[in-house]
């Protein structure tokens, strides 16, 4: 079992993670769109990584869902709260506390769909590796990533958070790194040094999607959803 390093406040509580990301992004529209692109069951869906399991809220009840994440707090929240409070009923739900690169763990029959949401910017520069391995074990891959926008163009839904992010983006680098470490995107797994090199604009992210073979691309807020099918 891998032991993650120190995690920021955001990654210490599934409740807080959902509360903040819902104010930043259009999570419901995003995951509803992904669920529609997954389609109706019966289908085997692998969510890499599953985070707080938000996608499950929108999936068709006949889906067999498998989620993988190293964050034990998020997985615990899914089991103890998310499934019960949201009354989520799927044909099968399996959760693994595993590294998403640990593919030998879920080898076997190919998955109908692998969802890879909001993770490529965390695992940079290994994002190509993850996509390439996923291509070998899936009939369809759906990815979703945010692109970098200028501070004043951030389309965060919550006005206060919008101002906080605007100010944050103007902090000196060393100070921003500290804020990231304690409060923001420090997932305790991937280093700031590598994560901070992910810097795709609206156009260059689209180009990256195409380069990786994702030819159907949809724009939602400051994010792109892309689809790969062989």
Ligand X SMILES: C[S@@+](CC[C@H](N)C(=O)[O-])C[C@H]1O[C@@H](n2cnc3c(N)ncnc32)[C@H](O)[C@@H]1O
**182 vs 195: CA distance, rounded Å:** 15
Site string for ligand X, 155-194 (x = CB under 6 A): --------------------------------x-xx----
The SS3 of residue 1 is coil
Phi, psi of 219 (to 5 degrees): -100, 125
The residue from 8, 26, 99, 196 that contacts ligand X (CB under 6 A) is 99
Contact with ligand X (CB under 6 A): which of 82, 118, 180, 222? 118
Minimum distance from residue 22 beta carbon to ligand X (Å): 10
How far is the C-alpha of 198 from the C-alpha of 194, rounded, in Å?
8
Among residues 65, 74, 124, 214, which is the contact residue for ligand X, using CB under 6 A? Answer: 74
Least Cβ distance, residue 9 to ligand X (angstroms): 14
54 or 228: CB nearest ligand X: 54
Determine the Cα–Cα distance for residues 15 and 30; give it in Å rounded to an integer: 18
Sheet holding 92-96, edge to edge: 92-96, 63-68, 43-47, 113-117, 141-146, 223-228, 216-220
User: Does 122 contact ligand X by CB under 6 A?
Assistant: yes
CB of 34 to ligand X, least distance (A): 9
Taking CB atoms, the residue at the shortest distance from ligand X is 51
For helices 159-169 and 14-24, the axis angle rounded to 10 degrees is: 90
- Residues within the interface to ligand X (CB under 6 A): 49, 51, 54, 69-71, 74, 99-101, 117-119, 122-123, 187, 189-190
């Amino acid at each position: 079992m891998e032991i993650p390093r120190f995690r920021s406040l955001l990654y210490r509580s599934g409740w807080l993670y959902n509360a903040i990301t819902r104010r930043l992004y259009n999570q419901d529209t995003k995951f509803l769109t992904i669920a529609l692109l997954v389609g109706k069951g019966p289908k085997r869906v692998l969510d890499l990584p599953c985070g707080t399991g938000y996608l499950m809220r929108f999936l068709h009840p006949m889906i067999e869902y498998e989620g993988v994440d190293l964050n034990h707090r998020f997985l615990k929240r899914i089991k103890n709260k998310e499934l019960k409070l949201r009354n989520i009923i799927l044909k099968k739900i399996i959760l693994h506390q595993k590294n998403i690169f640990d593919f030998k763990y879920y080898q076997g029959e190919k998955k109908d769909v692998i969802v890879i949401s909001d993770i490529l910017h965390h695992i940079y520069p290994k994002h190509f590796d993850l996509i390439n391995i996923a291509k070998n074990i899936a009939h369809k891959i759906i990815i979703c990533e945010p692109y970098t926008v200028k501070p004043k163009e951030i389309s965060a839904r919550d006005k206060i958070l919008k101002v906080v992010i605007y100010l944050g983006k103007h902090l000196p680098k060393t100070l921003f790194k500290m804020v990231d470490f304690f409060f923001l995107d420090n997932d305790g797994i991937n280093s700031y040094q590598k994560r901070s090199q992910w810097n795709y604009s609206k156009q260059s992210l689209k180009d990256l999607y195409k380069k990786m073979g994702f030819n159907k691309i949809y724009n939602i807020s400051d994010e792109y959803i892309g689809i790969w099918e062989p």
